[in-house]
Amino acid sequence: MSITIKDIASTLGISPSTVSRALNGHPDISEKTRKSVKDLAKKMNYQVNQMASGLRTKRSFTIGVLVPKIASHFFSSALSGIQEVAVANNYQVLICQTNESQNQERKYVKSLLSAKVDGFLISLAKGQKTITHIKAIVDNKVPLVFFDRISDSFNVPKIEAEDFKGAHRAVTHLIDTGCRKIVHLAGPDNLTASYNRMQGYKQALKDKNIPIDEKLIIPCDFDPENAKKAIHRLMGQNGDIDGIFTVNDELGVEAILTLKSMNIKVPDQVSVVGFGDFPICRIVEPNLTSIRHNPYQIGLEAAQCLFSQINHKNIDGGSRRVIPSELVVRDSSKTK
């Protein structure tokens, strides 16, 4: 059906091994044969069969990426960064969406191991308890890098957003602009990213000598519906809340919309700061102050780190890279 190395060999009257070496730039091959082989290959529109080549060389030129959700600003941007690096390395990317399900994640890992991917980039599904499937990757000595949703149970490189510092920065900004009673709409705290943002929130309060009120920390599990309910409840009982810091911009936007629907003025009565600097920050009215944390860069560096392992450049064990973030002040927060 499709052209093979043998077809080229036989039409040229030479052996397949010579063709292979010619195409791969082996120095043993004379300039003359190399040229004729390459010319014919191009003319016949030859493409190596990656399965055959991979079987022999034990390299699939494919990496597997696991993300909880493709349709999100953070992950689709990170995927762009990953793709960029993969292309530069002549690699392909198998993208799998776990839908936050551990079971799905386990299946994908199995199937990617079977596909003999040369490496894994994983952002874990939330609610991780049993992570034996991750162990299978490590046991098979397949390179692995965690990004964003990481686990400390494994000695592999990790690329993270600047969650603690970013959150700290956000909350310090709220305090500096006069907020004293600050709510945190939090994520699932078994995710390091959410956990670290919460810690950043707490530390910022401590640093300014504001007591931490656990009742003001509301786990919302990334669901805007929960954010809405929490705000309705809190604003009813606590008239003096003057700031909200949300674990991501989706909840931040929801917070603004909910407050507006309750006729509470943002930022005059309540300031809101999100996390992520998603495009929606500039759409919501008032524009949402947020922490920019470059998901594209996170994907890019995660992929670079993976390829440095794949290419045996260096195997840095549980190294940890934190991608810097910055505060972007917009209209949802202002000095009171």
Restricting to residues 144-203, name those near a copy of itself by CB under 8 A. none
Which CB atom, from 29 or from 259, has the smaller least distance to DNA? 29
3-state DSSP assignment of residue 221: coil
Distance in angstroms (rounded) separating the CA atoms of residues 273 and 327: 10
Work out how close the CB of 310 gets to DNA at its nearest, in angstroms, rounded to a whole number: 16
Residue 212 near which of a copy of itself, DNA, none (CB within 5-8 Å, type-dependent): none
**Does 262 interact with a copy of itself (rule: CB under 8 A)?**
no
Burial per residue of 254-265, b for 16 or more beta-carbon CB atoms within 10 angstroms, e otherwise: bbbbbbeeeeee
Helix (H) or strand (E) holding 40: helix 31-43
Q: Which of 10, 11, 39, 57 contacts DNA by CB under 7 A?
A: 57
Q: Which of 33, 36, 89, 92 contacts a copy of itself by CB under 8 A?
A: 92
Which CB atom, from 110 or from 206, has the smaller least distance to a copy of itself? 110
Residue 88 near which of DNA, a copy of itself, none (CB within 5-8 Å, type-dependent): none
**Does 246 interact with a copy of itself (rule: CB under 8 A)?**
no
Q: Which of 32, 129, 312, 313 contacts DNA by CB under 7 A?
A: 32
Give the residue from 93, 128, 127, 122 showing the smallest Cα distance to 109: 122
Do the Cβ atoms of 275 and 248 come closer than 8 Å?
yes
Do the Cβ atoms of 66 and 122 come closer than 8 Å?
yes
Structure token pair of residue 24: 């791969």
**Does 210 interact with a copy of itself (rule: CB under 8 A)?**
no
Work out how close the CB of 144 gets to DNA at its nearest, in angstroms, rounded to a whole number: 21
Which CB atom, from 51 or from 315, has the smaller least distance to a copy of itself? 51
What single-letter amino acid sits at 299? Answer: G
3-state DSSP assignment of residue 245: strand
Q: Look at strands 326-328 and 290-292 and give their pairing.
A: antiparallel
Q: Which of 30, 99, 103, 190 contacts DNA by CB under 7 A?
A: 30
Instruction: Say how many Å lie between the first and final Cα of the chain, rounded.
Output: 73
Distance in angstroms (rounded) separating the CA atoms of residues 146 and 157: 6
Tell me how far the alpha carbon of residue 259 is from its chain's centroid. Answer: 30
Contact positions toward a copy of itself, by CB under 8 A?
1-2, 45, 47-52, 54-55, 58, 60-62, 70-73, 76-77, 79-80, 83, 87, 90, 92-97, 104, 107, 110-116, 136, 140-141, 253, 257, 279-280, 283-285
Contact positions toward DNA, by CB under 7 A?
1-2, 4-6, 13-18, 20-21, 23-24, 28-33, 46, 48-49, 52-53, 55-58
